[in-house]
Structure 1
């Protein structure tokens, strides 16, 4: 592997992440969904079983999926938290060279700012093996040993040199801050509802008020009680959207929705920034299995080489403009979710251009707010119609018609399915500020809708896009702390999504690893290279036999 570093390298720092430190561990930190089976947990279990058929064992697997270790001491000073400057790692049993397919193990030792070894886990590390010259990278699996040390496993899938990067995203103390704000401070992101109606002398009345999800004990109760608000309960999902009652109009006059703003309630200590660690290390596996629903996603799920992703999940293909059109021919494609799956819609519109004697995907102007949709593109000659729409509230968007904001489960209930229909969805960044049980209920309702769809039309193709890593670019752009969109939040949502659909018989397209390990700076909206590789996998799911 030609490693040029010593076995005990001194860490250097790649970048900074927006993160907070807690002034005292566990003070006010909620048990949330990770708690022992309390009265609230038992109520959740009963609800999951009666509504969604989730057993006690299934609920236990969910708890295991989102479990995260807590500090075992009170944190009275910032210096007691994990220090990237004093945290080191070593490459175990370092050799001069390796064979492709071998594994490389790295051990990380976390120390605090006083350079004292930490005795408990809970730090959030991300790791990758990469080499920029060949545009190669692969995701590393981090295992918390719960004693202040962490084991990282890398598969060595390409021939050549490689570099190890281990990044401290959040200390275990910062994770406690994220937990507390997620479960008790959900209105740190708020929304506006716009009421409109006829006024005197043919005038038009308009009033904007604050709105948010109604969910028990999620930090929204100070909006008021009693007759404070207008509540909009969806009869099928049974979720409730709540807005402050307008002064001059009835609740039925709600017409538009938009993002409101951000409230940052972090203390000064919580706003301390944590840095990341980096060091150097170094060196394919053929996958013959045809793509089919229900496949397990390994770690790593694949690797980049020359900016092309090779999947370890199943035998994927690389599609040209022509084969993309042929794959999508006679397909009715429904995409639902956020702007990261909208990138797929945009890719197809651009990737299937008009050519002589061929039609093209042409986007229709439906005169809607672009961030909410619905969006539609059609190719009449090849009988392709491509749809995208947002996943419904909560949605951080510009002013959009409320009537266009549909819940994903309701949309799926309204589709007949069949061999010519492809349904894909995702849910992630817009849910990071809410408690896990709220997100879990939303996901389970979609699961219920998917199961019903596959029962009536088992030959429907269903694809779930996992959650992207966010990185730091978005929080820097908005001048925000990670308290609004940390990768740790996204990881928890990603685990719930995988748990809910692991036994349903659908395709799961893992973009978490693809966005986390690429050599480029992480971005909530990945660049064209990553999107093209995601599309190749997507098309391999839709057309598993090469055209």
Structure 2
């Protein structure tokens, strides 16, 4: 007896099922022949895509960047005319040119080399944005890498008007591969030093995130929050590893072979990295109005979980003002508003010089001290009447403070102050690791974030009223240090999302990536106007409880 008869299935029902199956197969074939299925799949991917789950391992999910393994597959010694050439590459609309407010705008990016040959692999890093200078309007776009030489750019119709879409190759895959190789070869891209001193003899040695044979090393990990910190042992017989007194650094030119130097200089002339064509679109109001694209919910009322799941773009500039999509910035940039938020609290904004910029902006509004110096010693602003304080100090190694020699004690773990916070505290903590980690392999960043997550979890369990936020990376372009790509911000954002996932319900994510992509910041130090916008956004989220 046939299997379906044993299962009690009638011949009539079997025939119906077979006819239905053949009908589905026929319909599938018709769709494929008309090219509809590919478009439908892309639409579903775009509409369902959130950067929260991007690049988490599935090859079917849209990815904004390739893995290190994929990036390094290409040989080092290459014909530079075979890399992506923006002057011959193309980008064009994937569909109509007229849109309504809040529509998704798709563009197709097709890369070609200098021979005019179509590229067949991905890995390039693009800046995609849309702007309308007359309205002082800008919005960022995201780029999905199909790893076949083509990319899909996604933007949101964020205002009614006639904006223009631009595309720019920030770094080519070959440049990114070069830096990956240098991480493995030299550990740190800049020179970090420790000074050993016994009162008479003094010696300075190089420091790394891992021992680099054949030298002998001092293990300073215990002084670095149990995170990797190794400095070459001093040669002087009267100096030992316990005699480290200060740290300093300087930028060095990465040792490069002639072939590597050609790759390193690929983006030296930034004007050649902008695509020749740009795309103008028409956006009508359609069924929505401008106010419908932003929320009226105060940012302080948004759950911390929602800040991690916020879809792209997180906001846009309109008439020069940043308009977040998730919530409304209801904390004005005034001394009374900031003081009311901080009253009887401490605000901890440790990190690097960009965190120091936020501290400077806070003081510009609060006017507590005459000025905040740009040096790297710990800083505290106190207000006796409102009983608040704002604290800054440099995060742990890897940290590159420059040519001034600072006491080693100034370089502290990002979480060093956690133990000072009482269980009933209402303090506000803004965590930030980014710029200095661009000078080491991303695995170092992940290790530090894992430790930070562990310490943060313990703090939230014993001090549930503490407000904790994580500030994500920001993008920048055309800055003077060729080896410091904002590309790594893509990698760091995903690491933050992956490692902080267990704490989404307790930790706020401050996402300034779209804000910085939209404007194309020229340096990793944002301009005062952008720092002001970032600070206002930060205050909108953390002024709660």
Shorter-normalised TM-score: what interval?
0.7 to 0.9
For residues 8-19 of structure 1, the aligned pairs below 5 Å read none
1:396 aligns with 2:389: no
CA contact (8 A) 2:64 2:145 kept: no
Which of 206, 209, 213 pairs up with 1:210? 206
1:232 aligns with 2:220: yes
Instruction: Tell me the secondary structure at the aligned position of residue 540 of structure 1.
Output: helix
Q: What do the CA deviations read for 1:9-43 (whole angstroms, capped 9, x no partner)?
A: xxxxxxxxxxxxxxxxxxxxxxxxxxxxxxxxxxx
Distance 1:77 1:514 in 2: 36
Instruction: Tell me the secondary structure at the aligned position of residue 330 of structure 2.
Output: coil
> Which of 70-79 and 500-509 deviates more?
70-79
Residue 345 of structure 1: aligned partner: 359
Deviation of 1:71 (Å): 7.6
Residue 305 of structure 2: aligned partner: 294
Q: Aligned-residue CA RMSD in angstroms?
A: 2.7
CA contact (8 A) 1:363 1:378 kept: no
Higher helix share: 2
1:92 aligns with 2:94: yes
For residues 136-535 of structure 1, the aligned pairs below 5 Å read 136-199=137-200, 205-213=201-209, 215=210, 221-222=212-213, 224-225=214-215, 228-234=216-222, 237-246=225-234, 247=236, 248-266=238-256, 267-274=260-267, 275-278=272-275, 279-282=278-281, 283=283, 284=290, 285-289=293-297, 290-295=301-306, 296-321=309-334, 322-353=336-367, 361-362=368-369, 371-397=375-401, 398-416=404-422, 418=424, 420-475=426-481, 481-482=482-483, 485-504=484-503, 505=505, 506-518=507-519, 521-535=521-535
Distance 1:59 1:159 in 2: 35
CA contact (8 A) 1:416 1:453 kept: no
Distance 1:458 1:89 in 2: 50
> Which of 445-454 and 165-174 deviates more?
165-174
Deviation of 1:388 (Å): 0.6
Distance 1:61 1:443 in 2: 23
Q: What do the CA deviations read for 1:148-187 (whole angstroms, capped 9, x no partner)?
A: 1111111111122211111111222222222222333323
Distance 1:126 1:402 in 2: 38
Residue 120 of structure 1: aligned partner: 121
Distance 1:236 1:182 in 2: 21
Distance 1:376 1:457 in 2: 22
Deviation of 1:235 (Å): 6.9
Q: What do the CA deviations read for 1:231-275 (whole angstroms, capped 9, x no partner)?
A: 212178432422222214222221110114314223233234244
> Which of 531-540 and 171-180 deviates more?
171-180
CA contact (8 A) 1:291 1:316 kept: no
Residue 7 of structure 2: aligned partner: none
Number of equivalent positions? 456
Deviation of 1:510 (Å): 0.7
Larger radius of gyration: 2
Distance 1:542 1:73 in 2: 45
Distance 1:363 1:390 in 2: 21
Deviation of 1:531 (Å): 1.4
> Which of 132-141 and 239-248 deviates more?
239-248
Check 1:362–1:268 CA distance in 2 against 1; reply closer, same or farther (3 A cut): closer
Distance 1:198 1:141 in 2: 56
Point out where structure 1 has 5 or more consecutive residues left out of the alignment: 1-57, 200-204, 354-360, 476-480
Distance 2:172 2:360 in 1: 37
Instruction: Tell me the secondary structure at the aligned position of residue 373 of structure 1.
Output: coil
Q: What do the CA deviations read for 1:395-454 (whole angstroms, capped 9, x no partner)?
A: 111311101211113333443354520001111111113222221111110000111111
Distance 2:314 2:228 in 1: 38
Distance 1:66 1:238 in 2: 31
Residue 132 of structure 1: aligned partner: 133
Point out where structure 2 has 5 or more consecutive residues left out of the alignment: 1-54, 284-289
Deviation of 1:362 (Å): 2.8
Distance 1:161 1:61 in 2: 37
Distance 1:61 1:372 in 2: 42
CA contact (8 A) 2:351 2:393 kept: yes
Check 1:379–1:474 CA distance in 2 against 1; reply closer, same or farther (3 A cut): farther
- Of structures 1 and 2, the one scoring higher in RCO (CA 8 A, sep 6+) is 1
> Which of 63-72 and 460-469 deviates more?
63-72
Instruction: Tell me the secondary structure at the aligned position of residue 98 of structure 1.
Output: strand
Distance 1:197 1:73 in 2: 50
CA contact (8 A) 1:255 1:401 kept: yes
Check 1:363–1:459 CA distance in 2 against 1; reply closer, same or farther (3 A cut): farther
Distance 1:529 1:260 in 2: 28
CA contact (8 A) 1:194 1:255 kept: yes
Deviation of 1:544 (Å): 5.2
Distance 2:73 2:168 in 1: 23
